């Protein structure tokens, strides 16, 4: 599948509320496959359709938690969620460093819910629900923000230009 161009805030699509997906078919599967390839090529751990200039409520996330000392790492799990929505969020908030593929070279301290429950649909239009905590919860919140035209720079307590490489867990 082709790797798509990741847009920056100069493109107004990034700041618009994305449209709900109403048709589940080959075009949606192509978009999602392209998004997965684009995310992996970047490399990142998440990507929202508006980041590739498509105003649709679609996100992809691929993430594996850090293994405990002495344990084998888990293979990353791939999430493809259509029309995702946070239906429950923990009261506990956590500050963490985030980067964004649409804002290359910058990072910020962003406060997020420690855990979230997300509902949405799979590629076949079947309902799914995901419970996420820690970094995975942060990634879901970051990507769902993109669907509402919200960027990490809007939520960050502090933003800075990075030296060298992006943080490993850049959504």
Task: Give the pairing of strands 77-89 and 127-133.
Answer: unpaired
Verify whether residue 163 is a known catalytic residue. Answer: no
Residue 96, strand partner residues: 110
Task: Give the pairing of strands 115-121 and 93-99.
Answer: unpaired
What is the signed CA dihedral for 40, 43, 44, 49, rounded to 10 degrees?
-60
Helix (H) or strand (E) run with residue 144 in it: helix 135-147
Residues 6+ apart with CB under 8 A from 89: 113, 115, 116, 117
Say which of 66, 72, 98, 143 is annotated catalytic.
143
Q: Which residues are catalytic?
A: 143
């Amino acid at each position: 599948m082709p790797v798509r161009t990741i847009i920056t805030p100069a493109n107004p699509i990034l700041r618009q509320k994305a449209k709900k997906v109403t048709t589940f078919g080959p075009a949606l599967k192509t978009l999602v496959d392209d998004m997965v390839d684009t995310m992996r090529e970047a490399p990142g751990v998440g990507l929202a359709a508006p980041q590739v200039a498509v105003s649709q409520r679609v996100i992809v996330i691929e993430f594996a938690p850090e293994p405990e000392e002495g344990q084998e790492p888990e293979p990353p799990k791939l999430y493809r969620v259509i029309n995702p929505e946070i239906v429950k969020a923990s009261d506990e908030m956590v500050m963490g460093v985030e980067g964004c593929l649409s804002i290359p070279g910058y990072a910020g301290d962003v406060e997020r819910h420690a855990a979230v429950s997300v509902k949405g649909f799979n590629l076949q239009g079947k309902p799914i629900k995901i419970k996420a905590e820690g970094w995975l919860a942060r990634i879901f919140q970051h990507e769902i923000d993109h669907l509402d035209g919200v960027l990490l720079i809007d939520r960050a307590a502090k933003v800075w230009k990075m030296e060298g490489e992006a943080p490993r867990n850049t959504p």
